[in-house]
């Protein structure tokens, strides 16, 4: 049997406790999401560097070029999907630029000095 006149709902203390818990969980989750996004962009950049190196190797083999040759972006662009190109090379996810270099050298990213080290090793 119900008590007559009993109030329904939550007390201010209960609501404050729930908000405190939600704030704590959000405080833990947001930095993790930011770090995951940075890691994703770094991995995309490193993958693009691998694709550029592969394109340089294919260019050298198909055109009988020595490892010391430095192909231009026009030489490499046929080896990429056209939808992903930015000035003849894949688009860098953080707005940087790629330098292909010689066939024997690893390509570099302008973000390689950042704390997340966008570098092919």
In DSSP terms, 65 is beta-bridged to none
CA atoms within 13 A on the CB side of 5: 0
Greater confidence (66 vs 3) lies with: 66
Q: Note the pLDDT tens digit of each residue in 23-57.
A: 999 999 888 898 899 889 999 999 999 999 999 99
Q: Note the pLDDT tens digit of each residue in 62-97.
A: 999 999 999 998 899 888 876 567 778 888 888 888
Radius of gyration of the chain (CA): 26
Tell me the whole-structure pTM to 2 decimals.
0.76
Asked if 90 and 42 touch (Cβ cutoff 8 Å), the reply is: no
Greater confidence (1 vs 121) lies with: 121
d(CA 41, CA 44): 5
């Amino acid at each position: 049997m119900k008590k007559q006149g009993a109030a329904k709902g939550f007390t201010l203390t209960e609501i404050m406790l729930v908000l405190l818990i939600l704030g704590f969980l959000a405080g833990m989750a947001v930095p993790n999401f930011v770090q995951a996004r940075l890691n994703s962009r770094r991995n995309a950049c490193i993958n693009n560097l691998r694709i550029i190196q592969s394109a340089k190797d294919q260019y050298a083999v198909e055109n009988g070029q020595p490892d010391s040759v430095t192909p231009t972006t026009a030489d490499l662009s046929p080896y990429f999907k056209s939808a992903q190109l930015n000035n003849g090379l894949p688009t860098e996810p953080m707005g940087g630029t790629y330098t292909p270099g010689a066939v024997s050298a690893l390509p570099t990213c302008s973000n390689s000095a950042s704390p997340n080290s966008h570098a092919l090793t």
